[in-house]
Structure 1
Amino acid sequence: MRPLRLIAVVSTLAIGTALATVATGKPQVAAPTAAAASKPQIGSYGFDAAGMGTDVAPGDDFFGYANGGWLNTTAIPADKPSYSAFDVLQDVSQQRTLGLLEEAAKDPQSKIGKAYAAYLDTKTIEAKGLAPIMPWLAQIKALKSKAGYAALAAQADKNGVGVPFGSGVGTDSKQPDTYTVNVRQGGLGMPDRDYYLSSDAKLVEARTAYQAHIAKIMTLAGEPNAEARAKALVDFETEIAKAHWTRIESRDADKTYNKMRVADLQTMAPGFDFAAYFAGVGTPVDTVVVGQPTAIAKMAALIAATPLEVLKDQLIIRSFDSFADVLPERFDAANFAFSGTVLRGTPEQQVRWKRAVNWTSAAVTDEVSKIYVARYFPPETKAAVDQLVKNVLAAMDARIEKLEWMSAETKVKAHAKVAAFTPRIGYPDKWRDYSALTIRAGDAFGNKLRANQWAHSYNTAKLGKPIYRWEWGLAPMTVNAQANPTLVAITFPAAILQPPFFDPKADPAVNYGGIGAVIGHEISHHFDDQGSKYDATGKLTQWWTDADIAAFKARTGQLVAQYDAYEPLPGFKVKGGLTLGENTADLAGLSAAYDAYHVSLGGKDAPVIDGTTGDQRFYLGWAQVWRRKHREADLRNRLLTDPHAPGPQRAWIVRNLDPWYAAFAPKDGQALVLKPESRVRIW
């Protein structure tokens, strides 16, 4: 699954509903006035013209031209690592959900109400101290030999505690009507191998802070020899990092599909008892799909060579990190000091009610979702977006037919894939059953543990069953979108279908440049460098001719080179290979949305509004949704780990599009200007 990550922003002018603060410090939604409801929620036509950079030429920096004023006047909230339109809308979604949960908390029989109230009850959490986690810690400490490590790691996995090997049940990419068990590399406490291996001063600082964090948690937990144990654990994870595939290597759908018998996996990686592990997690299968075989083999050897006490310490630290929010405040604060402040640059922890909303929404997602959509997602929005999806799909289909580099043979199959798409808008048509999940009042730790175990059991129970085609990877309350290659599906949750992405009162050009391009982006993921490997049935297979593949790679190689040249932070460039899928989807999606917009005009010229043409408004709508401000640590983190380029570079994709040049007349020599023969043209 490839979600559209949170990489966009507008000013608070983009909020469709006003926020009021009550005595509790919790915001409430104020209904828009009748006058406000009769016009776009942003500006005069759906774009925040007041937030433009009047001193920036579009040909030098289209992001700054569209958003410079906003950048200069917007402060990142103290509890956020960055600030974007996604964040603005997520705040609205969060406080709407707050209202629903506070209503539910008044009902002693409400599962979501009890979950929310227990998470908020920090007095009880403090009073219990470490008692809730002690039985699990005792189980870890009781392990006396390596022979039982695999079974213990399996129990940790079920509890929601990170282990060296990530596993789970998912769709078999080469048999998309069946589920399989996937095994991938894991075992790092920091976001990426570069945090362990790079000599960059900032990453060295983070590495030092990580070791100090481990020592502090050990000390808070009353463990002896904290400093030495912390060093040993960091040394172990550094060796794991050396074994890891890079993120660019790990996004290759072909190279990461390695189906093998468990017996053969055991022969390849003899240092870890995989059969015992799979039995322990509830997936005692004969075959699995291994993501990074060489890394898995090296990691198994490391486990065999590493002292048992270090392996146990890793489980202890992961346990405290996983459950810090439902343990005494000293653990919660220590966890945030590293994961929030060191890694992301965030000065302040979110207030408790926000985290209570987030956790409850994640733990019993569908119980919250069905109430949310009933109250906040009107049927007319679903119908309007459904039509937009059809229009952009038709535009993508037409673009395929016009490709000069793709063979007629492959075009037939590409058209079939477009026809096979399943658009999913607003919310799923079926909800998950949480009757087996026990939620108790005053038991925040137990609720989180049981919710993790329920989610694990729910996942493993899919083995041997038909694919849950109705199931979404995103909640309706989530401001995001998603493409699923094995389901040939595109998903747009309710919460993203608001301004600046979509406003029925806005000029169509802005809507097509906003949600239309997002729709095109998700459609295009099925035709990016990895999504294009899946056919109309969702099967990972070669359905292109060799010549088509070669022509495609020549074009995507140009896009990699273009993005490799961008350096948002000194010493940290955009990784063109890591961001290729998203950049391809931006390029193709924006192109398809542009075509769909012009078809929607029915042969008529777009009106001029406030001195802007339709094409100008279309591209301004695109740049507006990618507004974002980062803290330095967060931007560094994203450049190392995020498959999306930062907001400015996403907006700059326009430099490859001929209509953008016609709309804004950039001058030769300006930074974004490319000669026609140098513009990347793929879909």
Structure 2
Amino acid sequence: MSRALFAFALLAVVPDSLIAQTDTSNAEWPPLKVVDVRWIDTTASACVDFSQFANGAWLAHDTIPAAYSSSGVTRDMSDRNELIVRSVLEDAAARRSSFPPDSTPRKLGTFYATCMDSTAIEAAGIAPIRPWLRAIDSITTRTRLLPEIATLQVRGVNVAFRYSPDVDTHDAAHYITWLYQGGLGLPDRDYYFAAGAAADSTRQAFVTHVARMFRLAGHDSATAAAAASQLMGLETSLAQASMTRVDRRDPAKTDHPMSVGQLTALAPRVGWPRYFRAIGLSAPVRKVNVAQPDFVHRVDSLLHATPVATWRAYLKYHAIASAAPWLSTPFVQEDFAFRSRFSGAKALLPRWKRCLREADGDLGEALGQAYVAKTFPPEARARARAVIDDIRAAFHDRLLHLTWMSDATRAQALDKLARMGEKVGYPDRWRDYSRLRVSEGTFVLNVARANAFEWQRTVNRPGTPVDTTEWGITVPTVNAYYDPTKNEMVFPAGALMPQTFDASADDGANYGSLGGSWAGHELTHGFDDEGRHYDAAGNLRDWWQPSDSTHFVEQATLVERQFNKYIQVDTFHVNGKLTEGENIADWGGLLTAYDALENRLARSGRPALIEGYTPEQRYFIAYAQSWRVHDRPEQLRTRVTVDPHAPEQWRVNGPLSNIPAFAQAFGCKARDPMVRPTDKVPSIW
């Protein structure tokens, strides 16, 4: 399609009438500022606990809403964004019959309307997925296991291993077939082996939950209990072969390219050509990267050794669990009761929020187009780009002046920085949903069709050029990311709003929040303990001189040790190795964005005190307030195991205590808790 024709098609995706209809009043949006001095605890010392100083007044009065596992910046911004998205969805739902049958607005409105139709959902009960369960029950031989696994995967059910067409890390211009571990019902492999009464209780709660799901699906108590026990045995075996989260962060440990012949030798019983055909691949697979070979080998062994009845129980539970949030109330409540064990949430989110989030996940770019039209003018995009450009320039200067880095490594780092891409606000090309089918029938089947649409959209990518225009995040999302295989940073419009960024705010505030917490952070990910292994083109290649690599590892170990000492919750410490990359990115982002602010002030002049604070003080306050978060204890305990980010208190105090400019800005002395001894401070970026 030519550029002109494509532009015309793009305009037809979401009509102006949908974008303009039912604007959301600004009065409904939570009032957010990049720096809010009301949140500062003036009784706390900035040099003792800066997180408490910057956020203590807010924390003292905050109550986490019952339906949330945490409150703070992300929740506040997301709530505001969701009010806007809700208006788009409700307009589309109310007026869907007026749109052409196959138009994206019609699909968007129908998707949301069928989710909100609780009467139809309650009346249907489990009936919509009965055909799935009958197909699983009909499996009597091992030869039928793989076809059913493939069918469930296409529907979005996470069972056994996971297929994904991802970037080839040795030829980042093309996609390749990847196989990953997957298919566990607990949040992480470690839950299957952790010692202690709490861990035992969690495992028993899981077995009880699985049995309840089976009873809701029509099994008697004895059959349900036996099936749940069988499933737990199978999943424990899968967990034993699963790679830890720490190891999965090491690109070398997930780099196992092989031919289909080698894959067959690793897992001879699967029947790979048949499996690949079953998931929809139209061309023979020639090259595969098996991220976790031990896991794939274990699945192969279990397909041969584990009773078919156990596999049926496993597949049936995961089919039910994947659909449970969209079935009738007993399934929704049972799913929530178990999942809330890990989040601490006390109540379900309102249905409109649950439906909105599913719509954003499945038709996110259709929503994003309308969201941008309502919220993100071109001048905001330009101002955000200006901050990001200043961050780039500051990091360039830091690279030039690093004393520990050799010229050979420096040249490669500068090339990587120069070629690092960025996406800001929204895609330049929106996704085509013409092949997605959405029905006025039961919502859970619309979800399954949306999952199948996404699968079919990407399944045949191996061997084709990488789509460099694609976004891995939806526009209203409050998040950002760096992709090492594309060497690019992505900042959606949903994150480029107050409290993160305000085009009318002062430089100290914007550079501390957008600059330090976001742009500087994501840029540094390109050079953290994981990102540094990828070159400027996104290929997995060692471009470091040995002495430089040794220095980096030694200094990164200091970061790991620093965070290992911090308490996360109860007696649990932060996992410094799991969080190492994020901690390096926080610290490097702060240093770089601070330089960018000083450069900006040198060009534009220093303002007078704003609300009693200097630009540098507002910079550090903005950074700390960007991590204004209040977690439930259950959420913190889960994060110890699964989250590569440290708790927000330590994301503030940890890196700031390594930065002399922070101490200078607030007059901190050598022995203050927020000033770490010089010999303990790492030297990286």
Please tell me the TM-score bracket, short chain as reference: over 0.9
Gaps of 5+ in 2: 1-21, 100-105
Tell me the residue number matched to 1:527: 527
Task: Name the CA distance, whole Å, in 2 between partners of 1:611 and 1:507.
Answer: 13
Percentage identity across paired residues of the two chains: 35
Task: Name the CA distance, whole Å, in 2 between partners of 1:228 and 1:167.
Answer: 30
In the TM superposition, residue 668 of structure 1 has moved relative to its aligned partner by: 4.2
The residue type paired with residue 549 of structure 1 is S
Tell me the residue number matched to 1:661: 663
1:486–1:534 CA contact under 8 A, matched in 2: yes
Task: Name the CA distance, whole Å, in 2 between partners of 1:403 and 1:425.
Answer: 29
SS in 2 for 1:516: helix
Tell me the residue number matched to 1:356: 355
Q: Which moved more, 1:467-476 or 1:106-115?
A: 106-115
**Residues 338-371 of structure 1: per-residue CA shift (max 9 Å, x gap):** 11x2121110011111111111121112211111
In the TM superposition, residue 203 of structure 1 has moved relative to its aligned partner by: 2.6
In the TM superposition, residue 605 of structure 1 has moved relative to its aligned partner by: 4.2
The residue type paired with residue 97 of structure 1 is V
SS in 2 for 1:540: coil
Tell me the residue number matched to 1:279: 277
SS in 2 for 1:430: coil
Q: Determine which of 134, 139, 154 is the counterpart of 1:158.
A: 154
Tell me the residue number matched to 2:434: 435
2:162–2:181 CA contact under 8 A, matched in 1: yes
The residue type paired with residue 658 of structure 2 is N
* TM-score of the superposed pair, with normalisation by structure 2: 0.92
Gaps of 5+ in 1: 1-26
Q: Determine which of 195, 215, 226 is the counterpart of 2:191.
A: 195
SS in 2 for 1:438: coil
1:206–1:343 CA contact under 8 A, matched in 2: no
Answer yes or no: is 1:262 the counterpart of 2:260. yes
1:363–1:451 CA contact under 8 A, matched in 2: yes
2:528–2:585 CA contact under 8 A, matched in 1: yes
* Residues 200/612 of structure 1: CA separation in 2 closer, same or farther (3 Å cut): farther
* Residues 271/577 of structure 1: CA separation in 2 closer, same or farther (3 Å cut): farther
Tell me the residue number matched to 1:556: 556
Q: Determine which of 29, 35, 53 is the counterpart of 1:47.
A: 35
Task: Name the CA distance, whole Å, in 2 between partners of 1:575 and 1:369.
Answer: 36
Q: Determine which of 202, 213, 218 is the counterpart of 1:217.
A: 213
In the TM superposition, residue 136 of structure 1 has moved relative to its aligned partner by: 1.1
In the TM superposition, residue 28 of structure 1 has moved relative to its aligned partner by: 8.5
Q: Which moved more, 1:323-332 or 1:426-435?
A: 323-332
1:520–1:588 CA contact under 8 A, matched in 2: yes
Task: Name the CA distance, whole Å, in 1 between partners of 2:196 and 2:590.
Answer: 36
Q: Determine which of 43, 57, 71 is the counterpart of 2:59.
A: 71
Answer yes or no: is 1:92 the counterpart of 2:80. yes
Task: Name the CA distance, whole Å, in 2 between partners of 1:391 and 1:632.
Answer: 38
2:37–2:611 CA contact under 8 A, matched in 1: no
SS in 2 for 1:254: helix
2:173–2:465 CA contact under 8 A, matched in 1: yes
Tell me the residue number matched to 1:671: 673
SS in 1 for 2:567: coil
Tell me the residue number matched to 2:293: 293
Task: Name the CA distance, whole Å, in 2 between partners of 1:266 and 1:482.
Answer: 35
The residue type paired with residue 31 of structure 1 is N
Q: Which has the higher helix share?
A: 2
2:77–2:499 CA contact under 8 A, matched in 1: no
Task: Name the CA distance, whole Å, in 2 between partners of 1:615 and 1:290.
Answer: 48
Task: Name the CA distance, whole Å, in 1 between partners of 2:130 and 2:608.
Answer: 68
**Residues 365-415 of structure 1: per-residue CA shift (max 9 Å, x gap):** 221111111122111100001111111000011101111111101111111
SS in 1 for 2:357: helix
Answer yes or no: is 1:466 the counterpart of 2:468. no
- Report the RMSD for the aligned CA atoms in angstroms: 1.8
**Residues 622-659 of structure 1: per-residue CA shift (max 9 Å, x gap):** 00000111111111111110111110010011111110
* TM-score of the superposed pair, with normalisation by structure 1: 0.92
**Residues 473-515 of structure 1: per-residue CA shift (max 9 Å, x gap):** 0111101111111211111100111112111222210110000
Task: Name the CA distance, whole Å, in 1 between partners of 2:295 and 2:575.
Answer: 22
Task: Name the CA distance, whole Å, in 1 between partners of 2:357 and 2:530.
Answer: 31
* Residues 403/240 of structure 1: CA separation in 2 closer, same or farther (3 Å cut): same
Q: Which moved more, 1:501-510 or 1:293-302?
A: 293-302
SS in 2 for 1:491: strand
1:656–1:681 CA contact under 8 A, matched in 2: no
The residue type paired with residue 107 of structure 1 is R
Answer yes or no: is 1:577 the counterpart of 2:577. yes
Task: Name the CA distance, whole Å, in 1 between partners of 2:212 and 2:294.
Answer: 34
**Residues 420-475 of structure 1: per-residue CA shift (max 9 Å, x gap):** 12111100001111111111113212211111110111111323332111000011
Task: Name the CA distance, whole Å, in 2 between partners of 1:111 and 1:89.
Answer: 27
Tell me the residue number matched to 2:408: 409
1:271–1:302 CA contact under 8 A, matched in 2: no
In the TM superposition, residue 572 of structure 1 has moved relative to its aligned partner by: 1.7
Answer yes or no: is 1:612 the counterpart of 2:610. no
Task: Name the CA distance, whole Å, in 2 between partners of 1:93 and 1:605.
Answer: 33
Answer yes or no: is 1:338 the counterpart of 2:326. no
Tell me the residue number matched to 1:236: 234
Task: Name the CA distance, whole Å, in 1 between partners of 2:572 and 2:23.
Answer: 40
Tell me the residue number matched to 1:511: 510
SS in 2 for 1:601: helix
1:85–1:625 CA contact under 8 A, matched in 2: yes
2:257–2:287 CA contact under 8 A, matched in 1: yes
Answer yes or no: is 1:387 the counterpart of 2:386. yes
Task: Name the CA distance, whole Å, in 2 between partners of 1:606 and 1:542.
Answer: 45
In the TM superposition, residue 94 of structure 1 has moved relative to its aligned partner by: 1.0
SS in 1 for 2:552: helix
Task: Name the CA distance, whole Å, in 2 between partners of 1:93 and 1:611.
Answer: 31
Answer yes or no: is 1:83 the counterpart of 2:71. yes
In the TM superposition, residue 606 of structure 1 has moved relative to its aligned partner by: 4.9
Q: Which moved more, 1:282-291 or 1:240-249?
A: 282-291
Task: Name the CA distance, whole Å, in 1 between partners of 2:304 and 2:658.
Answer: 51
2:384–2:503 CA contact under 8 A, matched in 1: no
* Residues 670/423 of structure 1: CA separation in 2 closer, same or farther (3 Å cut): same
Tell me the residue number matched to 1:622: 623
Tell me the residue number matched to 1:478: 477
The residue type paired with residue 302 of structure 1 is L
In the TM superposition, residue 41 of structure 1 has moved relative to its aligned partner by: 6.2
SS in 2 for 1:512: helix
* Residues 215/385 of structure 1: CA separation in 2 closer, same or farther (3 Å cut): same
In the TM superposition, residue 265 of structure 1 has moved relative to its aligned partner by: 1.7
Tell me the residue number matched to 1:324: 324
Task: Name the CA distance, whole Å, in 1 between partners of 2:304 and 2:672.
Answer: 57
The residue type paired with residue 600 of structure 1 is R
The residue type paired with residue 660 of structure 1 is F
The residue type paired with residue 135 of structure 1 is P
2:552–2:684 CA contact under 8 A, matched in 1: yes
1:185–1:244 CA contact under 8 A, matched in 2: yes
In the TM superposition, residue 573 of structure 1 has moved relative to its aligned partner by: 1.4
SS in 1 for 2:173: strand
**Residues 157-203 of structure 1: per-residue CA shift (max 9 Å, x gap):** 00111111011101111101110111111121011112111113333
Aligned residues: 649
Task: Name the CA distance, whole Å, in 2 between partners of 1:238 and 1:204.
Answer: 13
Task: Name the CA distance, whole Å, in 2 between partners of 1:28 and 1:234.
Answer: 50
* Residues 261/599 of structure 1: CA separation in 2 closer, same or farther (3 Å cut): same
In the TM superposition, residue 59 of structure 1 has moved relative to its aligned partner by: 2.5
Answer yes or no: is 1:377 the counterpart of 2:365. no
1:121–1:442 CA contact under 8 A, matched in 2: no
Tell me the residue number matched to 2:598: 598
Task: Name the CA distance, whole Å, in 2 between partners of 1:597 and 1:679.
Answer: 23
Tell me the residue number matched to 2:25: 30
Tell me the residue number matched to 1:56: 44
Answer yes or no: is 1:120 the counterpart of 2:108. no
In the TM superposition, residue 301 of structure 1 has moved relative to its aligned partner by: 2.0
1:41–1:503 CA contact under 8 A, matched in 2: no
SS in 1 for 2:602: coil
* Residues 263/579 of structure 1: CA separation in 2 closer, same or farther (3 Å cut): same
